[in-house]
Amino acid sequence: MDFRKIISSTRCYNFHSHTQFCDGRATMEEMARAAVSCGMIHYGFTPHSPIPIESPCNMKASDVEIFLAEVSRLQNMSEFSTCRFYRAMEIDYLSPQWGPANDYFRSLDLDYSIGSVHFIPSQTGEPVDIDGNFENFSRRMKRYFRGDIDYVVDTFFRQSSEMIKAGGFDIIGHFDKIGQNASYYSPGIEDGMHYHALADSMVEMIIDRDLIVELNTKAKSAHGRFFPAERYLRKLVDADITILVNSDAHYPDTVNALRDEALHLLDALKCVS
């Protein structure tokens, strides 16, 4: 897909959304109707990918064909003719053996994929979800990570770097998302030199490989932040990296949530570049 061409011709798009097939809170048809109602002309369904461990937030492998067929069904409904729907997936990177570059995902008939890190290995090697609400994160810090927030941050960025090197995805998802829970757990951690060095290294890898990045608006309303943070956006804009503004919608009323604010931010950064 030529994302740069799409976003140069319209702002009526969202390439990151979730439905009943993973941790979304509405059916695909409900999300499609919401997308059309708010004027979207490009809309991607991106369920959290199947993974080889138990997770209530991830799609079951047995549902993949049903999901793919549902996208086709919606695309052929006359009431949705003004919007193109895409068969995509947000693929979790767990290890060199499981991630966007895995042959399984390459075999699926997807229009594109988002590569994201939501799980990292504990000190004993057990994959642990470090995404989601802070209450769960705090419990997992004690149970799985011995309270070592530096280990969690370092490992998140190491996993992200490994995913970039392995490739196989079209868009890198919320690449500094660990900053949210890490900052609640250890206030000020994002302002430290070590965190900056890790995040800056990610930005340099993205620029070196000319990757497509999303500006994710999901956390703006509840947590007052975009992913990536504005301090990293400037470098990406200056390097002419393709940046998609995605709402990471889990509910129909968040299909276009805070995208206008994010687009205005990008405009402002481009004007002073």
Cβ contacts of 131 within 8 Å, gap of 6 or more: 57, 118, 177, 181
Strand residue runs (E) in the chain? 13-14, 42-45, 84-92, 112-116, 119-121, 127-129, 171-172, 212-216, 243-246
Average pLDDT over residues 110-116: 98
Q: What is residue 241's DSSP assignment?
A: -
pLDDT of residue 272: 74
Whole-number Å distance between alpha carbons of 63 and 150? 37
Average pLDDT of the chain, as a whole number = 97
The SS3 call for residue 116 is: strand
Q: Which of 122, 169, 177 is nearest to 145 (CA)?
A: 122
Longest dimension (CA), the chain: 54
| CB of 82 closer than 8 Å to CB of 36 | yes
Q: Give per-residue pLDDT as tens, 10-53.
A: 999 999 999 999 999 999 999 999 999 999 999 999 999 999 99
Cβ contacts of 162 within 8 Å, gap of 6 or more: 93, 96
The number of beta carbons lying within 10 Å of the beta carbon of residue 77 is: 13
Whole-number Å distance between alpha carbons of 241 and 170? 13
Q: Which two tokens stand for residue 105?
A: 């995902």
* Phi, psi of 42, rounded to the nearest 5 degrees: -135, 125
Whole-number Å distance between alpha carbons of 28 and 73? 10
The whole model's pTM is what? 0.96
Q: Give per-residue pLDDT as tens, 143-198.
A: 999 999 999 999 999 999 999 999 999 999 999 999 999 999 999 999 999 999 99
